[in-house]
Amino acid sequence: MAHAFSERLAAGPLLCDGAMGTLLYARGVPLDGCFDVLNLNTPALVQAIHSEYIAAGADCIETNTFGANRFKLAVHGLGSQVREINLRGVKLARDVREAMGRDVLVLGSMGPLGKYLAPLGTLGEGEARDAFREQAEGLLEGGVDAFVVETMSDLGEVALAVEAIRAVADLPIVAQVAFTDEGLTFLGRTPAEVARALSALPVQVIGANCSVGSSTLYEVLEQMRPAAGGRPIAIQPNAGLPSRVGERLIYLSSPAYMADYAARMLAAGARVVGGCCGTTPEHIRAMRAVTGPTPSARAVGRAAAPAVARPDQAPVMRTAAPPTRLERKLAAGEFVVTVELDPPRGHNIEKLVQGAKLLKERGAEIVDINDGSLGRIRMAVLPTAVLVRDATGLEINMHFTCRDRNLMGIQADLLGAHALDVRNILAMTGDPPRAGDYVNATAVFDVDAVGLLRILRRMNGGLDATGSSIGEPTAFCVGAVLNPAAREPELEVERLRQKLEAGAQWVQTQPIYDLALLDDFLRRAGSPEVPVLVGVMPLHSARHAEFLHNEVPGITIPPEVRARMREAGDKGLAVGIELAQGILRQARRRYAGAYLMPSFGRYEVVAEVLDALR
């Protein structure tokens, strides 16, 4: 028997909808709330989002049931309402379809269970299969046109979900896996391996969604297609990476950018395109313009204040520890250059050490060690810092985030760092965990960057966060992060004021490609007298420039710079190095220092940029 989904797919590419959770979050639903129970409690809100995607031209809408399985619902005390929530989710979508008179397809969304399968976790295959079957039965009873098994990281979990669906239904299944920005799954499987594994399952469409933006999933598509055995492929990227603005998460990719990639994906063989986290009806409307006309409707019934010590902040006491090299250079007005190093994904530090030695040969004296950048798992920052320092003699500026540590853990790690003489600290809030890698990971955020700065100031006064003595005061040299291209500049100005009040001794910026932007921001902030290290990230190609501009939080690349990279063609890296050297020379005349960031682990590129200082 031919199903409507299969018939429509055979007739032409299908455009799916975008994010549901992003829009619910934007309309006041807390991130830690249960989105799925809104099918029962606030159905009008869910239906409003469905109607917006249909009006934007989507061919398919997914039910608001991504987390509606017994394990995820149990966290909210709703484990006994699986059937009701799933059935109701389908009915809401079908009722909107009926009311709007467009023959869109209703796809039953099934996400990961929220527990890891043995042996990584404790969840047995039988339990997992039963949970998927329970959800599938509710969706089937509601009347879905097809199922979407999505945002999976474990191919074994995908197979169990498909097996459970097939036990109750012969409807089409779309199976989609999440990839990291390195083009691998959480367990290290390549796109080709994933394509072969998914093609062996009784599914109609295979593909990838979530976690990363359009450019990475375009590359995934190119690698999946030859191994897909002719299976149609679905690609639904995020709208870039999330950026935290105040208490909100903002995604960066514009509708035009995602539509451009949707066209490329279709040309490269994708049969289903759409969006995941961060995408909105505006993104889908732009994609509609490149996927072809909508199918015919069918009747279906402001300045910074000077830094002032707060009453609850301890005065800085004297300590026996001498100033760090960074602190001495900043105080003497010497031009500071520091280079960022990412901890390894595994436990082998050799490549990082060799890169650090190369940078030292080119004149670097200080290196920055990242702390869980982009919410990805890497070696812990403190042991990485100590290993690199001991192997190279370079001074360390250690990034320190609040995401993974509670208030006690933050102070314990800081005391350990000081005991190991790692005393330059860049205080950061931290990127939120990325959906698709560790789907159960939770962020702590007991404090943010401002709170962390206050803790460090107290430690330098000999006190912990509660005012209790820690004995001899610490001697941390503390910096903060600045994003002069923030979407809400007045908020960023206020954050800078708070960071300086809390004790930041210098600031480091996100990558800058036009110093006028930084100049303007600092004027707006009242020209605070604080050393500024200018972020410099060499561009490798036009594609790299577009990716950073459209998908990476905190990076804005001016149109003229992106145009120059396009004109450079296959000489993009040389032009990117030239541009970075120009920024570095300008920064040397106007600012306290520069913070160089290699891309793709290409330390030799940053070493070449450093030649501009010779």
277-306, pLDDT tens digit by residue?
A: 999 999 999 999 999 876 543 333 333 333
Q: What percent of the chain has pLDDT over 70?
A: 92
Co-location of 381 and 498 in the same domain: yes
545 in a domain, yes or no? Answer: no
Alpha-carbon distance of 428 to 490, in angstroms, equals 19
Of 291, 313, 341, the last residue of a domain is 291
pLDDT band, very low/low/confident/very high, at 30 (cuts 50, 70, 90):
confident
431 in a domain, yes or no? Answer: yes
End-to-end, the C-alpha distance of the chain in Å comes to 73
What is the tens place of the pLDDT at every residue in 43-67?
A: 999 999 999 999 999 999 999 999 9
Co-location of 515 and 422 in the same domain: yes
Alpha-carbon distance of 384 to 216, in angstroms, equals 28
Q: Does 553 sit behind a cis peptide bond, omega within 30 degrees of 0 on the bond before it?
A: no
Q: Is residue 453 within 8 Å of 504, Cβ to Cβ? A: yes
Tell which phi-psi region holds residue 600, choosing left (phi > 0), alpha (psi between -120 and 50) or beta.
Answer: left
| Nearest alpha-carbon partner for 17 in 56, 66, 44, 47 | 56
- Residue 176 has a CB neighbour count (10 Å cut-off) of 25
- Which residue has better confidence, 405 or 375? 405
135 in a domain, yes or no? Answer: yes
Predicted local confidence at residue 303, as pLDDT? 33
Strand partners, 234: 207, 272
Instruction: Count CA atoms within 13 Å of residue 122 on its CB side.
Output: 1
Highest mean pLDDT among 31-35, 508-512, 547-551: 508-512
pLDDT band, very low/low/confident/very high, at 187 (cuts 50, 70, 90):
confident
What is the tens place of the pLDDT at every residue in 109-126?
A: 999 999 989 887 889 999
How far out from the chain centre does Cα 293 lie? Answer: 32
Co-location of 102 and 51 in the same domain: yes
Instruction: Check whether 130 has a pLDDT greater than 90.
Output: yes
CATH number of the domain bearing residue 526? 3.20.20.220
611 in a domain, yes or no? Answer: no
Predicted local confidence at residue 438, as pLDDT? 53
Co-location of 223 and 352 in the same domain: no
| Nearest alpha-carbon partner for 426 in 508, 344, 484 | 508
Predicted local confidence at residue 31, as pLDDT? 76
564 in a domain, yes or no? Answer: no
Co-location of 376 and 270 in the same domain: no
Co-location of 269 and 348 in the same domain: no
556 in a domain, yes or no? Answer: no
Alpha-carbon distance of 173 to 147, in angstroms, equals 5
Residues 370-389 have a mean pLDDT of: 87
Co-location of 140 and 269 in the same domain: yes
Predicted local confidence at residue 403, as pLDDT? 84
- φ, ψ of residue 437 to 5 degrees: the values are -90, -70
Task: Classify 218 as helix, strand or coil.
Answer: helix
Instruction: Count CA atoms within 13 Å of residue 413 on its CB side.
Output: 20
Q: Is residue 511 within 8 Å of 555, Cβ to Cβ? A: yes
29 Cβ partners below 8 Å, 6+ apart? 35, 38, 45
Instruction: Check whether 517 has a pLDDT greater than 90.
Output: yes
State the chain's mean pLDDT as an integer: 90
Which residue type does 490 have?
A: E
Of 242, 276, 291, the last residue of a domain is 291
Give the domain range for residue 367.
Answer: 325-538+591-606
316 in a domain, yes or no? Answer: no
Co-location of 163 and 113 in the same domain: yes
Residues 187-206 have a mean pLDDT of: 96
Q: What share of the chain is helix, strand, coil (3-state, %, to 5)?
A: 45, 15, 40
Buried (b) or exposed (e) across 361-379, using 16+ Cβ within 10 A?
Answer: ebebbbbbbbbbbbbbebb
What is the tens place of the pLDDT at every residue in 14-23?
A: 999 999 999 9
Residues 231-240 have a mean pLDDT of: 96
pLDDT band, very low/low/confident/very high, at 440 (cuts 50, 70, 90):
low
382 in a domain, yes or no? Answer: yes
Predicted local confidence at residue 306, as pLDDT? 33
- φ, ψ of residue 82 to 5 degrees: the values are -60, -55
Co-location of 220 and 365 in the same domain: no
| Nearest alpha-carbon partner for 29 in 49, 54, 12 | 49
Predicted local confidence at residue 241, as pLDDT? 76
Strands 146-152 and 173-177, bridge-based pairing: parallel
Strand partners, 592: none
How many structural domains comprise the chain?
2
Co-location of 283 and 428 in the same domain: no
Distances (CA, A) of 160 to 144, 202, 233: 20, 12, 20
Whole-model pTM: value is: 0.75
Predicted local confidence at residue 430, as pLDDT? 85
Task: Please tell me what DSSP assigns to residue 543.
Answer: H
Co-location of 503 and 374 in the same domain: yes
Alpha-carbon distance of 279 to 19, in angstroms, equals 5
Co-location of 506 and 360 in the same domain: yes
Alpha-carbon distance of 266 to 442, in angstroms, equals 35
| Nearest alpha-carbon partner for 181 in 212, 151, 210 | 212
Q: What percent of the chain has pLDDT over 90?
A: 79
82-100 vs 125-142: helix crossing angle, rounded to 10: 30
CATH number of the domain bearing residue 183? 3.20.20.330
Instruction: Check whether 432 has a pLDDT greater than 80.
Output: no
Residues 325-350 have a mean pLDDT of: 94
